[in-house]
Structure 1
Amino acid sequence: MWNGKLAEIWQLITTSPENFKGGGVWSIIVNINGGLKAIGYALLVLFFVMGVVKTCGSFAEIKRPEVAFKCFIRFVLAQAAVTWGMELMTAVFQIAQGMISTIMDSSGLSALSAAELPSRMVDIIQDVGFIESIPLWAVTLLGSLFIWVLSLVMILTVYSRFFKLYIATAIAPIPLASFAGQPSSSIGIAFLKSFAAICLEGCAIVLACVIFSAFASSPPAIADDTLAAATVVWNYVGELIFNMLALVGAIKMSDRLIRELMGLG
């Protein structure tokens, strides 16, 4: 189960929003983005007028060529951001995907290393009698429950990244229209930084998986194979769950880590 979830994460993190779930969700997001462009153009004019009123002290000031030209350039650039916002955000995501591919190539991993039981552990389990197998079953069920919960949290975190990408892409024309006015441009800047943080979140997730892959390549050692089988398995499972907790924690905090590195708080 754990190896299957890791393989699913490895596949999801390298999948673009256009190809996720066959691309059906992306086509809906594109239609929503196109529909909100009309509202974005209306807000474009509103933000532009508000910006001119707040930055220009009088009507005579806006008659100055340099001031009028500056306002005109700002309006044109803001309109271009609303019109080509989808292409802009797709380019940012492709840059982040290129970084993810570079991380994978530099690590020398084409896929995550699967976690396997040591051969000595397999021999100990197979030699257990019926009576001794009862506590061993209890340990196995408890360990399986922990692994199921951790894998569920991990996969939900990765899926939530796609939801955030889709939501940000769908409403992009609204915050991008704020670039038309100088006082409101901070809204658009914060939106672009947040979208870049969502894209870079994939890099943090890949780095966490690469680090865990190094742990998985050298599984926990059996401290003392003379102990009871249930004790040996419990010690092994406990150390394995600790490594899994470290991976899940790193994936769970990837959003906060990237936002702090980009100064988004």
Structure 2
Amino acid sequence: MKGVIEIESDNWIAQNLQNALNTWNGKLTEIWQLLTQSPETFKGGGIWDVIVNINGTLQAIGYALLVLFFLVGMVKTCGSFVEVRKPEHALKLFVRFAIAKGVITYGLELMMALYTIVQGVVSRIMATSGLGSAGETLLPDAIVTAVENVDFFNSIPLWAVTLIGGILITILSFIMIMSVYGRFFRIYLYTAIAPIPLASFAGEPSQSIGKNFLKSYAAVCLEGAIVVLACVIFTVFAASPPQVDPDANAITMVWTYVAELVFNMLVLVGTIKMSDRVVREMMGL
């Protein structure tokens, strides 16, 4: 589905409002495409290559912290050196150390496996909704006709209404797309710094750091499911646009349409902005 709609009307007021809707439609389509992308292919994969290199470099620091967390945990959990010499305690410490080292070494694969699972959830939501792409918001023909028939003096307040509405729609478009890009950047940040918090699994007292890190990363991934659900709901809204009273004057007609449309957009943008809070409430974080 196209992100930009060609304007059939030559009226500059209708064009002003439709240009704002085109910006909204373009950003909504871009979000729909971003939700189906992997961090490995985002922007050609260049960012992912840098993140992987940083992750590999920080593994050396992770291994050093692994030994530190392991020794601190051993001191706090064992009352004396005699307990360490017991086979059951020694085996438990060895298994913990081996698991922690494996988590650091294969942490990148683990995190990508979590992301793949969430992407499967997102794809299933998209397939179940029956929507191949995000819906487009169109300017009703009744409004275009009413605006084209307005005289010069009545077009002045009408221009002000469409100008305010167009600015609000454009601002909401960029806030929405920035929130989705912000999710991608957080995934990159978590992936790059992963070896350091994952090293905390080496010690029993510090393992909560690693658990919270994985929970937070899973929450960031799940934000994609909340965003796609919000887009699906808004697409249904867009399929049944705000009602327009053909008997009302042009100013009232445009004002009512813009106000209801901006309200629906605010609901979508607010849901996308609060997707992290919604996920954390669901997961009890």
**What's the TM-score, normalizing by structure 1?**
0.97
Q: Confirm whether residue 66 of structure 1 aligns to residue 101 of structure 2.
A: no
Matched AA of 2:199 = A
Match of 1:147 in 2: 169
1:228 positional shift: 2.0
Deviations 1:20-64 (A, max 9, x none): 111111100000000000000000000011111000101111111
Partner of 1:88: 110
Partner residue in 2 for 1:113: 135
Letter in 2 for 1:102: R
- 1:6 paired residue number: 28
The unaligned stretches of length 5 or more in structure 2 are: 1-22
Q: Deviations over 1:3-28 (max 9, x none)?
A: 01100111111111111111111100
Structure 1: which 5+ residue stretches go unaligned? none
What is aligned with 1:48? 70
Report 1:1-265 matches (<5 A).
Answer: 1-222=23-244, 224-264=245-285
Cα displacement string for residues 199-228 of structure 1 (whole angstroms, at most 9, x for unaligned residues): 000000000000001100000001x32222
Compute the displacement of 1:183 (Å).
0.5
Distance 2:242 2:248 in 1: 16
Quote how far apart the aligned CAs of 1:244 are.
0.2
Q: What's the % identity of the aligned pairs? A: 62
Q: Distance in 2 between matches of 1:118 and 1:231?
A: 14
- TM-score (structure 2 length as normaliser): 0.91
Distance 1:148 1:196 in 2: 31
Number of aligned residue pairs: 263
Q: Which amino acid aligns with 1:58?
A: S
1:125 shift after superposition: 1.7
